[in-house]
Chain A
Amino acid sequence: MAGEAKFDPMHQFQVHPIVPIHIGGYDVSLTNSALWMLIALGVIIGFISLGMKRELVPGRWQMAVEELTGTIGRMAGTTIGPEGKKFEPLLFSLFAFILVANFLGILPFAVVPGLHPFATTSHFSITGVLAVISFSIVLIVGFWKHGLHFFSLFLPPGVPWYMQLFLFPIELISFIVRPFSLGLRLFVAIFAGHVLMDVFGNFIVNGLNGGPVGMGVAFLSFVFVVFIGLLEILVCLIQAYVFTLLTAVYLNDAVNLH
């Protein structure tokens, strides 16, 4: 480190084009974000297709795939009920994509020079679109199944009518905020984790140049960043599961009303 290098923890989140494509004045370049999304897609397809041999006695790989799909299937069944089977592909797609994208962002690919991993789920534009997809499916299912009766979701049963006058707007607002909070939770959890790891990595590098006290700080930061890394792996899994679980809970509201 030569002197005071400018430290910028936001640099890792920059989107830059890899293959510039311009069609009719629109910039549709293949960016690093899009590239890592495609890699996530490839990983999912590879993982699933390797376990699709349909052996009568499943091997290890097939067991892993069956366990993953079975977990989401059980979640759909217990949360939504007997109609949850229809939404299993949606829930599994959301879970698999978010999980693989989270893990690809946190794997230490940067030890290979020139290769920079990119956490696609650390951008609100990606997680927001995922949340809007799940929310619009909730709306479509709700109106398809119940018509305008869907609005009775905002009227809690067993409450006197004068209280419902107040409760209706509150329930409506809490329903409208759902896609926002759904996307924000995933985005911030991944974003915050990456900033935290970057900041402590910077403490290590700068501390090594800072004399005996700096060495102590660097050592403590190193121990801390190891545990933060383990915690981040847990967060990746929990956030993917929570996103899917909340989508299933919202679908349950739309399918069964109350």
Chain B
Amino acid sequence: MDLASAQVIGAGLAAIGVGAAAIGVGNVWGPFLESAVRNPAASDSQFTRVLIGFALAELLGLIAFVVSMIILYAPPHA
């Protein structure tokens, strides 16, 4: 396998992390919606905490994207 194709395959493998972060973001919003439907009165007071959790989960997916982009656009003969 030559270097250029290994680079593209590596970038694709690094992008798996984005999907893993999608599970995390779903785990933040799904239970929130579930509990907000059961007790709508309490949902507004917890919304900022949901956003913090969402931001923390999303960051990991974004880091996976950055790693993928760094591999994809790195000079091929570095």
Contacts and interface: CB of A to CB of B under 8 A. Distances in A.
Interface stretch (B3-11, B30-38, B59-67): B59-67
B51 interface: yes
Q: Is the interface of A mostly helix, strand, loop or mixed?
A: helix
A135 B31 CA distance: 31
A192 B62 CA distance: 8
Interface in A185-211: 185, 188-189, 192, 195
Contacts, number: 36
A192 B66 CA distance: 8
A246 B69 CA distance: 26
Interface residues of B, number: 13
A184 B63 contact: yes
B55 interface: yes
Given A192-B65, A245-B52, A181 B59 contact: yes
Given A75-B48, A79-B48, A242-B55, A189 B62 contact: yes
B22 to A, nearest CB: 13
A188 B66 contact: yes
Interface residues of A, number: 17
A246 B59 contact: no
B75 to A, nearest CB: 13
Contact of A245 (B51, B58, B63, B73): B51
29 contacts: A10-B73, A75-B48, A78-B48, A181-B59, A184-B59, A184-B63, A184-B66, A185-B55, A185-B58, A185-B59, A188-B63, A188-B66, A189-B58, A192-B65, A195-B69, A238-B51, A238-B54, A241-B51, A242-B51, A242-B52, A242-B54, A242-B55, A245-B48, A245-B51, A245-B52, A245-B55, A246-B52, A246-B55, A249-B52
Interface of B: 48, 51-52, 54-55, 58-59, 62-63, 65-66, 69, 73
